[in-house]
Amino acid sequence: MRIILFIYIVFIATQLCAQNKQLLYNVDDLPQTLLSNPGAAISFEKHIGIPFFSGISFNAGSTGVSVYDIFQEGGDINTRIRDAIFRLDAKDAFVVNQQLELASFGWKSRFTNNYYSAGLYQETDVIAYFPKDIAVLAYEGNANYLNIPFQFSDVSVAAEVLSVYHFGINKEISKKWRVGARAKLYMSIANINSTDNEGVFITTTTPEGPNFLQHQVLNASITANTSGLRSIIDGDAGAGKAVGRAILSNNLGIGFDIGATHTIDDHWTATASIIDVGAIFHTKDLRNYRLSGSYETSGINLQFPDVLDGEELTDYWQNLEDEFEENIPYEDELENSYTTWRPTKFNASVNRGLGKNLNGDCDCTNSGVDRYATNVGIQLYGIKRPKSFQGAATMYIDRSWNRFLRTKMTYTYDAFSKKNVGVLISTKINKFNVYLAADNILDYSNLAKAQSASVQLGFQLLFDPE
């Protein structure tokens, strides 16, 4: 228990921020913008990603504490751990997201002017909420918490490794509107899901007897569903099988993204998108673990049998164990199918173009769309998580310095950080594009103090209109 608690503290303390790719959103000369808004305005007419290198991203975050909060030099680490446990609540979470584009390409149709994009990426997504009540129980025991329930619902963990095949269409339907949609086929490689737990453990004082205290587990329903792990745990599958599942998995899912860009006037545009509306149906290589039921005990009720009259001694301890197991059975051989919903994300932005129109007064190759060297705006982001909706607001300034260099600087406010400044640098020499984006750069001087950070980079070929 103490090791689990310690790992949780370290996890919480080492979190970096989740999934929000604010630096790539609305960057119209990067194909990755289509993954956060399939209806984004884009400035290229073909792209080919360098396999395995076109999109590499890692981000993670903690809404609670940093490594520094726990492991800073000097002082008493036990006081800091205690402070952290009591400062965090059950909505504080540890989040990690990693993506790797294995293939990425797109082209503009000569006949319809639609932009088609497709590819395959691998993703890892983990969220673990801080199990506040269980942590307090493990850290302090129940003595100071008589008559206070410890909620099992605080235990909430979801982790998924999957690959995603996708195909999207980006279409300008009028001079004011550009819309897009992307179909997704999810291949789950491995999944752990324990998010809908219920029940309480409580120790109550019982002045009316029969004993000082009564210990109760009430309406417990704790379930952990896994897929893709049983064969690995049993040794029936190795790395080769995991790679095979990334290409074609038995645990399939479907989903879609939609998005749009609205040109309000010559200088103002607005965008919105919904990403990863979908579910994965886990039907193979399953293993479910379940603990459910209710039980209460006041201790061992001695009966003082009349041994002299031939009554047998009662095995109270065995009875206690048997009653517990009978009332709260632990099942670890279940193979029930289950469904997990993808963490749906929402994006929206308002953009103001400043300075020179890069497309000139009339750009007939791009339907007359205005494109400015400098853009400023506000982006909103949200993601639906098992317990809550996590949101972020970003202000940005985006500048194309010349044909070769573009930068974007962001300030993001979210539950992970109040001083998140990020920078994107994208260079393009001839058709070869490289970009690197990192946020929370103010904390790079000492990452131990960072509660969130993310890095994205990629290499690809981009083909501009003739």
Partner 1 sequence: MKYVQRCISVVVFMISFLGCVSCVSDVDFDQTQDVVFNQTVDASLIFFTLDTSDFESVDTQEATITVRDTTRLEFLNDDFIRENLREVTLDFQVDNSFGQSLVNRAAFLNSEGQEQLVVFFEITSSPDGSVQRTEFTEVLSEEDIQAIGNSIQLANEVILTTNGAPINGELSLQSKAIYKLEFSDL
Q: Which residues bind partner 1 (CB under 8 A)?
A: 2-3, 5-6, 67-68, 71-73, 76-78, 81, 138-144, 146, 203, 209-215, 297-306, 308-309, 313-318, 425, 427-430, 432-434, 436, 438, 441, 444-448, 455, 457, 459
The 10 Å CB-count burial string (b at 16+, else e) for 48-78 is: bbbeebbbbbbbbbbbbbbbbbbeeeeeeee
Map tokens 């609670």 to a residue.
Answer: 64
H-helix or E-strand containing 8? helix 2-13
Nearest to 332 by CA among 233, 414, 411, 419: 233
> And the tokens for 116?
């088609």
Q: Cβ of residue 90: shortest distance to partner 1, in angstroms? A: 20
CB 426 within 8 A of CB 433: yes
Q: Cβ of residue 330: shortest distance to partner 1, in angstroms? A: 18
Grouping H, G, I as helix, E, B as strand and the rest as coil, residue 36 is helix
**Residue number, 412 or 433, with CB nearest to partner 1:** 433
**d(C-alpha 362, C-alpha 360), whole Å:** 5
Phi and psi, residue 92, nearest 5°: -75, 140
Nearest to 24 by CA among 10, 9, 40: 40
**Residue number, 283 or 314, with CB nearest to partner 1:** 314
Q: Cβ of residue 101: shortest distance to partner 1, in angstroms? A: 16
| DSSP letter, residue 319 | H
* Residue 167 Ramachandran class (φ > 0 left, ψ -120 to 50 alpha, else beta): beta
Cis peptide before 210 (omega within 30 of 0): yes
Map tokens 């982001």 to a residue.
Answer: 381
H-helix or E-strand containing 7? helix 2-13
**Residue number, 111 or 318, with CB nearest to partner 1:** 318
Q: Cβ of residue 82: shortest distance to partner 1, in angstroms? A: 9
> Residue 310, exposed/middle/buried by CB under 10 A (0-12, 13-18, 19+)?
exposed
**d(C-alpha 256, C-alpha 247), whole Å:** 19
**d(C-alpha 158, C-alpha 339), whole Å:** 12
**Residue number, 41 or 462, with CB nearest to partner 1:** 462
Q: Cβ of residue 253: shortest distance to partner 1, in angstroms? A: 34
Q: Cβ of residue 138: shortest distance to partner 1, in angstroms? A: 8
**Residue number, 316 or 401, with CB nearest to partner 1:** 316
Q: Cβ of residue 381: shortest distance to partner 1, in angstroms? A: 23
**Residue number, 138 or 397, with CB nearest to partner 1:** 138
**Residue number, 82 or 175, with CB nearest to partner 1:** 82
**d(C-alpha 168, C-alpha 183), whole Å:** 6
**Residue number, 389 or 444, with CB nearest to partner 1:** 444
Q: Cβ of residue 349: shortest distance to partner 1, in angstroms? A: 25
Nearest to 341 by CA among 288, 283, 276, 286: 276
**Residue number, 397 or 436, with CB nearest to partner 1:** 436
Q: Cβ of residue 425: shortest distance to partner 1, in angstroms? A: 6
